A = this chain, B = another copy of it.
Amino acid sequence: MKDELQLKTRDVEFLLYEVFCVQELVKNERYSHHDRETFKAVIELAKDFAEQKFYPLARPLDQNEPYLKDNKVVTIPELKNTLDEYKELGFTKMSADMAFGGMQLPFVIAQAAGAFLAAANVSAIAYSFLTTAAANLLAKYGTDSLKNRFLGPMIEGRFFGTMNLSEPQAGSSLADIKVLAKPTKSEHYLISGTKMWISGGEHDLSDNIVHMVLARLEGAPSGIAGISLFLVPKYREDHKGNFSKKNDIQVVGLNHKMGWHGTTNTVLNYGENSDCYGYLIGEPNQGLLYMFHMMNEARIGVGMHATALGYTGYLHSLSYAKDRIQGRRLGAPKSELNQVSIIEHPDIKRLLMMQKLAVEGSLALTLYCAFLYDRYLVETDVSSKEEINLLLELLTPVAKSWPSEYCLEANKHAIQVLGGYGYTRDFPLERFYRDNRLNPIHEGTHGIQALDLIGRKLFINQGRSFIYLLTLIRETIFKAKEDKDLKIFGDELEASIRQLESVVESIKLKRKSSSDYLALSSAGIFLDAFGLILIGWMWLKQGIVVFEKLREEDTNSFYLGKKSTIKFYFNHDLPKARERLEFIARFDSSFVEMERDWF
């Protein structure tokens, strides 16, 4: 059998059906037209397309960056051809509602399928990913008129979409965006100003591009309270209702990045000739709120992309480590002449194990969050729905960030397994590493996620979401402790969350007694520690299934591998959370006190 190189299907199925039991979703009206077989078929389709179409395109796409010619962006023709096939197979429709022409698959299934595609070619899937995000905004907040005109083509992939948040002077600080929207006597507004870092901002891959643009209405309040959301199409309708009229949007530059070469990344000028039409989405001054509502899905998506890149790097390096013969077994007698596969060397095993725990742990967390979103959608009980929502809000910054950090590290280790070869462009590892470096930056940097977690999510509603989370983790621990082999890990996770509770409490007190500046200064470290504990929870959840299964089939390689990984995680990684929490609890001021001239 050929090695799987994107994700391990067995692992995806294990998480979906054995650990999280997402097949239960079909009991709900929303997903009742599906069953486990359709889930399987969609994932299989994605997997095949990833291997056969997306993956072979990844290298040419990396080596031929889009460029500007006569104000147009030129991409290699294979990209359009492949994306056309992608659209035809319906991948753009996976999670959209049937009412709008979508397949209405659970988000978790769409994410699992998307993971195979992202692993094979993250910069090709980006166009579709952004389109889904834009379509979701439109579907949720747009008027019927706008939806009738734009939503169908977006879900079909005939129109692609983009998200326009940043400006040259306002990246992480959205409060300071300046793009302006002037009302007219008609339905449309006139948009003017510059947006930056717009992925998919210009290309010929679709019939139209639908930009979702944050802008200020004339006279709007300053700061985040004065930001509205506009739909601004590349082509607007002529009098016959055809999208034939070029809107007043200019590409003024392309950003050339270390990775993601296949995704055009643009600087756009809106309304250079005062003729850029935009359409208000929802209410005035609510733009950022809408954006945040949609952000959860996008951020889980980023976490999933990071996971996918980490996972494929892991599998590539694993396959190499099994094949590459070099050196002798450590500690072998000098008379031993036969060389071994490098997978026999402990340090290579360690490098593989570090990847395995990161990528499988990340996959568990991102799938869990995606599944929570589905449960939120189908939940009918108001208070349960609210609880799920709070939990999802709390976990999202971690689901975005932990994989972004640790799967980038995994890619670093994957290169190391291959040594000099891994550093060359003859293998895809260096590309994964370059691509993955973006994930801790876009959709809210690591630092922004950390502040979101510790400055907002942890304490809103008197910390209700945190309390709910701890209840859930304790349920898992309780269950784990019923198994005598798992008990030790349950105890360790219990100790970790006790320490976590106490640190959270002291941060709360510090915020009252001192300044937010000091209290929240270790936000980034807290995010890391919190993530390590959540991933520990994910491993314990897996452990409950694994240890039970092993009682029935004690030679099953898959479960044996999981079992060792769980042991390794609890011995090697969870202790790092303890060490980091201890640091936070000391409220060390040595870096906060640094003045600019001291560096």
Within 8 A of B (CB), among A169-198: 169-173, 175-176, 196-197
Within 8 A of B (CB), among A327-351: 327-331, 337, 339, 341, 343, 345-351
User: When chains A and B are docked, how far (Å) is the Cα of A440 from the Cα of B451?
Assistant: 33
Tell yes or no: A378 within 8 A of B by CB: no
User: When chains A and B are docked, how far (Å) is the Cα of A579 from the Cα of B329?
Assistant: 28
Contacts A347-B447, A520-B346 known; A256 to B326 CB distance under 8 Å?
no
Interface string of A33-45 (1 = CB under 8 A from B): 0000000000000
Residues in B whose Cβ lies below 8 Å from that of A451: 330, 347
* Complex contact B575–A582 (CB within 8 A): yes
Tell yes or no: A416 within 8 A of B by CB: yes
* Complex contact B557–A433 (CB within 8 A): no
Interface residues contributed by chain A, number (CB under 8 Å): 99
Looking at A106-114, A238-246, A494-502, A585-593, the stretch in contact with chain B turns out to be A585-593
* Complex contact B445–A416 (CB within 8 A): yes
For A560, the closest partner residue in chain B by CB is B598
For A566, the closest partner residue in chain B by CB is B590
* Complex contact B437–A415 (CB within 8 A): yes
Tell yes or no: A446 within 8 A of B by CB: yes
* Complex contact A419–B437 (CB within 8 A): no
Interface string of A407-442 (1 = CB under 8 A from B): 010001001100110111110001001100110111
* Complex contact A517–B597 (CB within 8 A): no
Tell yes or no: A124 within 8 A of B by CB: no
User: When chains A and B are docked, how far (Å) is the Cα of A352 from the Cα of B590?
Assistant: 12
Total identical chains: 2
Tell yes or no: A292 within 8 A of B by CB: no
Residues in B whose Cβ lies below 8 Å from that of A441: 415-416, 419-420, 422-423
Most buried by B among A257, A583, A591: A591
User: When chains A and B are docked, how far (Å) is the Cα of A56 from the Cα of B583?
Assistant: 42
* Complex contact A571–B594 (CB within 8 A): no
* Complex contact A172–B419 (CB within 8 A): yes
The chain A residues found within 8 Å of chain B, CB to CB, are 166, 169-173, 175-176, 196-197, 222, 255-259, 318, 322, 326-331, 337, 339, 341, 343, 345-353, 356, 408, 412, 415-416, 419-420, 422-426, 430, 433-434, 437-438, 440-442, 445-447, 450-451, 515-517, 520-525, 557-558, 560-561, 564-565, 567-568, 571-572, 575-576, 578-579, 582-583, 586, 588, 590-599
30 sample A-B contacts, Cβ–Cβ < 8 Å, listed by A number: A166-B420, A171-B326, A171-B419, A176-B326, A176-B327, A196-B420, A197-B420, A346-B523, A346-B591, A346-B592, A347-B523, A347-B524, A353-B591, A356-B599, A416-B445, A416-B446, A420-B441, A423-B437, A423-B441, A433-B437, A434-B434, A560-B595, A561-B594, A564-B591, A564-B594, A567-B588, A572-B588, A572-B590, A575-B583, A576-B576
